[in-house]
Amino acid sequence: MHLQFQGAARSVTGSMHMLTVQGRTVLLDCGLVQGRREEARQRNSTFPFDPSSIAAVVLSHAHIDHSGNLPGLVRHGFRGPIYCTKATKSLCDVMLKDSAFIQERDVEFINKKHQRKGLGPVTPLYTRTDVEATLPLLRGMEYGQTFDVIDGIHCRYEDAGHMLGSASLALTLKEGSHTCHLVFTGDLGRPGLPILRDPVFVGDEADFLISESTYGGRLHAPVSAMEEQLLDPIRRAVQRRGKIIIPGFAVGRTQELVYVLHRLSIEGKIDYLPVFVDSPLSVNVTEVFRKHPECFDEETRAILASPENNDPFGFERLTYIRDVEHSKQLNDRPGPFIVIAASGMADNGRIVHHLANGVGDARNMVVIVGYQAENTLGKKLVDKQPIVNIFGEPHEVKAEVVVLNSFSGHADRNELLSYVGKFNRKRMKRVFLVHGDPAQAEQLSGGLQAAGFSAVGIPDRGDEAMLC
Ligand SMILES: [Zn+2]
Ligand SMILES: [Zn+2]
């Protein structure tokens, strides 16, 4: 039995780990690498193994850095089952179609450039046809129930509290007379996040642990600070009659933002302010949310059941925008208003147009509410670069950029230490830290060793580890 780390190793995106038991290999996640366009394209277009040799995929959640290369895997010959939770299955349906659309459009853009330079055309990573071939392979499973992945691998999903449908995996592995327990945290959420249930501990029966480490060295403001943190930059921008531009991951962050804005609106704090969610994907995903109340916390269920204000994803001043023309009209609309658009790292999607249109105006406000990977436009704004390239053109950044650290969907250092700290230290043979930049993973590693976990590793891409 062994593991090989193929993605999100000493980095955050492209989550993909190979687990081999009884001579057959299963993938844990099959995500897209995000970041520098050329490098990402190169990594995403080839697999370091033969996809047709993979027996099954076990998916932790629907975020594109975990699920986004499933259609690529199928395009290159994979035909096995893809296990996920029921809500993840529903989300993949909309998210993978959207991702294929982005891939096809990206290639049009690249090929125009290539043509000018006399270079040959490139093909998309995958197309909507590949997505159509992928979706029937998805198997939606219940939380808390054990299922067989292949002979020798059993899996149980528990709620990771990170996004709708997100899960941690408790895997039991059997080969010959050996049995061992492997846990994969997936992306781990935070207790108290709006809408979602709190992360459920998978149980301390683990010999090996693969843990995320996104914020292994950082502390977030408490979830309870969300409303105040958001209100402060809104008020400043409203005084200047500026636009408030928020890149939001179409899944998760956008619905949370809407939920918090809904509360601020009911409390009369922003009831005058128009809010636009400009993303056809967010519109579709919000529909998926409404279909999966089994993933909601008590508070959200109570809102759904209340006689008035009973839509946590909508309120009077909120408009969801599907069509492009309506989206373009926002360019000429005078502030103040809020626009939330995807993608969350501003590397593609409608948010890029809003930023191209808005960053040059000092009245405007850009509010960053999620993780920004290296080399994305979002990260450049967070780093306060005075000039950023958007669609190949330089734009001077005059708008104010604020980063809110209470909105993270990821556990922070203390929350990670507390979650991992629940495992039996004597039993745990090795902890592998993934899904984190090296500095973050190293700080978490230090914390875990101080807490009594003697063997903690930060595997690099291609590294292998024997289990049992
Ligand atoms: Zn995630
Ligand atoms: Zn992730």
Domain ranges across the chain: 2-218+409-466, 223-403
Distance 62 CA to ligand 2 centre (A): 9
Q: Is the pTM of this model over 0.85?
A: yes
- Note the pLDDT of residue 154: 98
| Ligand with an atom nearest the CA of residue 29 | 2
Peptide bond just before 213 cis, omega within 30 deg: no
Closest CA to 408 of 248, 244, 209: 248
Would you tell me how many other CB atoms lie within 10 Å of the CB of residue 154?
Answer: 16
| Ligand with an atom nearest the CA of residue 66 | 2
- Note the pLDDT of residue 284: 87
Tell me what percent of the residues of the chain surpass a pLDDT of 90.
78
The pLDDT tens digits along the chain (468 residues) read 999 999 999 999 999 999 999 999 999 999 999 888 888 999 999 999 999 999 999 999 999 999 999 999 999 999 999 999 999 999 999 999 999 998 898 888 889 888 999 999 989 999 999 999 999 999 999 999 999 999 999 999 999 999 999 999 999 999 999 999 999 999 999 999 989 999 999 988 899 999 999 999 999 999 989 999 999 999 999 999 999 999 998 888 888 899 999 989 989 999 899 999 998 888 888 889 889 988 999 989 888 888 887 788 888 889 999 999 999 999 999 999 999 998 889 988 899 999 999 999 999 999 999 888 888 999 999 999 999 999 889 999 999 999 998 888 999 999 999 999 999 999 999 999 999 999 999 999 999 999 999 999 999 999 999 998
The CA distance from 62 to 145, in Å, is 19
Rg (CA), the chain: 22
Residue 30 burial (CB < 10 Å; 0-12/13-18/19+)?
A: buried
Question: What is 2-218+409-466's CATH number, 3.60.15.10, 1.10.287.810, 3.90.1150.10, 3.40.50.2300?
Answer: 3.60.15.10
Distance 460 CA to ligand 1 centre (A): 20
The CA distance from 216 to 415, in Å, is 9
273-311: string of b/e by CB count within 10 Å (b at 16+)? bbbbbbbbbbbbbbebbeebeebbeeebeebeeeeeeee
- Note the pLDDT of residue 402: 97
Which residues hold their Cβ within 5 A of ligand 1, which is an ion?
A: 63, 187
H helices of 245-342, in order, are 253-266, 280-291, 298-305, 324-332
| Ligand with an atom nearest the CA of residue 31 | 2
Distance 157 CA to ligand 1 centre (A): 15
- Note the pLDDT of residue 310: 79
**Phi (first) and psi of residue 47, to 5 degrees:** -110, 145
Report the sign of the C-alpha dihedral through residues 378, 379, 383, 387, in that order. negative
Distance 437 CA to ligand 1 centre (A): 15
Distance 141 CA to ligand 1 centre (A): 19
**Phi (first) and psi of residue 172, to 5 degrees:** -110, 125
The CA distance from 52 to 75, in Å, is 10
CB 351, CB 247: distance < 8 Å: yes
Distance 75 CA to ligand 1 centre (A): 24
Distance 148 CA to ligand 1 centre (A): 24
Which residues hold their Cβ within 5 A of ligand 2, which is an ion?
A: 65, 187
Instruction: Compute the C-alpha angle 345/347/348, nearest 5°.
Output: 115
| Ligand with an atom nearest the CA of residue 163 | 1
Q: Does domain 223-403 have CATH number 3.40.50.2300?
A: no
| Ligand with an atom nearest the CA of residue 189 | 1
Distance 410 CA to ligand 2 centre (A): 9
Distance 353 CA to ligand 2 centre (A): 25
- Note the pLDDT of residue 348: 83
